[in-house]
Amino acid sequence: MPFELNNTTQSMRLCDNIKERMWEGVSQASEKSVFMRVTGPFIAIASALLSLAERVASVGEAIIKGLANIFGSPFPNKCNAFKGLEQIFIKLPWLALNLVIFPVEIGIRALITSVCMLVIPKGYSKNRKIFYQERLEKLERKAEESV
């Protein structure tokens, strides 16, 4: 994945790729073992930490790429000042707001993951894997459109 200044979804794509592989492993393990039911809280914590890393990295990515686009605008073949302003004044506040409400969201998601892994580990892990595959495909398409 090359460093692309006009695309602020690279951190999300990286974390979704990791989550998709994590849920693939959980799905395979839940096929073989009934003990996967008790791992729900640990899987929820791992997923929460990945989500936190994704959110923090997204804020940093918007700042770095926005400033690079603004200050690098004398090089129009690589940088775009308007894109930088959009990243700083539109994308960054949205990402910061998401980071503020994140604790509530992650608490709810962790509870859902723990309960679902206890009750239906095979189905839930397969559905999460599919969710992250589809989300990754959407982010890839969005990245291609922004270039």
Residue 5 lies in a domain: no
Structure-token pair, residue 90 = 């539109």
| pLDDT tens digits along 112-133 | 999 999 999 999 999 999 999 9
pTM: predicted TM-score of the whole model, two decimal places: 0.83
Supply 127's token pair. 């559905």
Domain count, the chain: 1
Which range of residues forms the domain containing residue 69? 10-146
17 domain-assigned = yes
Q: Is residue 65 within 8 Å of residue 23, measured between CB atoms?
A: no
In single-letter form, the type of residue at position 95 comes to: L
Residue 43 inside a domain? The answer is: yes
Classify residue 133: in a domain, yes or no: yes
Q: Are 58 and 95 in contact (CB under 8 A)?
A: yes
Both tokens of 38, joined, read 């008790």
Asked if residue 105 is part of any domain, the answer here is yes
User: pLDDT (tens digit, 9 = 90+) per residue, 16-47?
Assistant: 999 999 999 999 998 888 788 888 899 999 99
Tokens 């073989």 found at = 32
